[in-house]
Structure 1
Amino acid sequence: MRKQHALTAALAAVLSLCACAGGSQNEPAAKSTPTVSIGQENYAEDGHDHGADEHYGVPEVTWDAAAERAVKDTASKVMVLFARPNVPEAAWFSDLAPYLAPEYAADAKYIDPARVPIRKVTDGPAISREAGNPLTVTATFSTDAGRWQMLLHRSGQQQPWLVATISPQEPA
């Protein structure tokens, strides 16, 4: 009899805890976590439309002839401004700053233009980018100091191309 009483008390305690955790008896049972089927565009029963039109705040950006012209113009202008070792540091940086990404500008303000070995750009830019990525490109230049490359990025279709790095090209 004692075992039955203890078992009844334990069962009552479990039911009480379940009732507290599950809400009132009039509420429907909570749904389990939605499942995702690999290879499908939509998530099951999560209340959101996950169709192709959902962008999660990523700007709609395309690569076209205008984008290529703009990035080539910016890259050419910046490389000419960069390759001026005889210009005083303050003027050199002031001329470059509007074209630099904030992270690179923070580093570039410490570059001594007298230590930049380029005096003349002889060819370029040759533009390369990853297929499907219209936001970031690499521009490659031939100079009197060898081949140099520049990484440029934009944050949207109508946003300016900004230089993220300028460096000598690694030998292949």
Structure 2
Amino acid sequence: MRQHLALTVALAAALSVSACAGTAGTDPATDPTPSLNTGQESNPAEAGHGHGTDEHYGIPEVTWDAAAENSVKDTAAKAMGLFARPDVPESTWFADLAPHLAPEYAEDAKYIDPARVPIRKVTDGPAISRDAGNPMTVTATFATDAGRWGMLLHRSGQQQPWLVTAISPQEPTS
């Protein structure tokens, strides 16, 4: 009895699948040539929903404004002040600086000996520069008693903190 029921269910499933599939060559709307979506056609499933491409690709919407500039300047100044302390014990130096560092740079920075950092005083800065189309990455430059130094900062979203990804001396301009 169970075998008969299972056979009946399998046969009914097979018939319904073949009925949905149709027969080849009888459907005039079928085009065997693949088409290329150039992005100019609209997608009726998304029509009227107001979704931007950022949502679909996971790219955060980030803008540059006065708050972003103030925030990055504050972070850069704080981080450079913590970096330029050659007389602080290594463990304290790193513990104070680490919250302002991107994880990749923090991994490198834990091997920096603060006694070898030549900066004792920041004399000017930060001066911020960025690419016009990139509100997520900036360069901060500082004048110090050890020459000009640069710092690269990045944020991963509008409300995300600015994190230092590099600190290095700048080549003198001649």
The bucket for the TM-score relative to the shorter chain is 0.7 to 0.9
Q: How does 1:138-153 map to 2 (within 5 A)?
A: 138-153=139-154
Q: How does 1:32-47 map to 2 (within 5 A)?
A: 32-36=34-38, 42-44=39-41
Using the TM superposition, give the Cα deviation of residue 32 of structure 1 relative to its aligned residue in structure 2, in angstroms. Answer: 1.0
Which range moved further: 101-110 or 50-59?
50-59
Using the TM superposition, give the Cα deviation of residue 57 of structure 1 relative to its aligned residue in structure 2, in angstroms. Answer: 1.2
Structure-2 separation of matches of 1:141 and 1:70: 16
Q: How does 1:96-111 map to 2 (within 5 A)?
A: 96-111=97-112
Match of 1:125 in 2: 126
Match of 1:64 in 2: 65
Structure-1 separation of matches of 2:155 and 2:64: 11
Using the TM superposition, give the Cα deviation of residue 53 of structure 1 relative to its aligned residue in structure 2, in angstroms. Answer: 2.0
Using the TM superposition, give the Cα deviation of residue 35 of structure 1 relative to its aligned residue in structure 2, in angstroms. Answer: 4.8
Structure-1 separation of matches of 2:104 and 2:124: 27
Unmatched tracts of structure 2, length 5 or more: 1-21
Amino acid at match of 2:159: Q
CA RMSD, 1 decimal = 2.3
Deviation above 4 Å: which 4+ runs of structure 1?
A: 44-52
SS in 1 for 2:156: coil
Match of 1:82 in 2: 83
Structure-1 separation of matches of 2:45 and 2:76: 42
Using the TM superposition, give the Cα deviation of residue 54 of structure 1 relative to its aligned residue in structure 2, in angstroms. Answer: 1.5
Amino acid at match of 1:156: G
Structure-2 separation of matches of 1:155 and 1:86: 33
Which range moved further: 43-52 or 67-76?
43-52
Percentage of matched positions with identical amino acids: 69
TM-score, normalisation: structure 2:
0.75
Structure-2 separation of matches of 1:77 and 1:103: 19
Amino acid at match of 2:139: T
Match of 1:13 in 2: none
Match of 1:136 in 2: 137
Tell me how many residue pairs correspond in the alignment.
145
Contact kept, 8 Å, 1:150 with 1:164, in 2: the verdict is yes
CA distance 1:64–1:145, change in 2 (3 Å): same
Using the TM superposition, give the Cα deviation of residue 170 of structure 1 relative to its aligned residue in structure 2, in angstroms. Answer: 2.0
SS in 2 for 1:150: strand
Contact kept, 8 Å, 1:85 with 1:119, in 2: the verdict is yes
SS in 1 for 2:128: strand
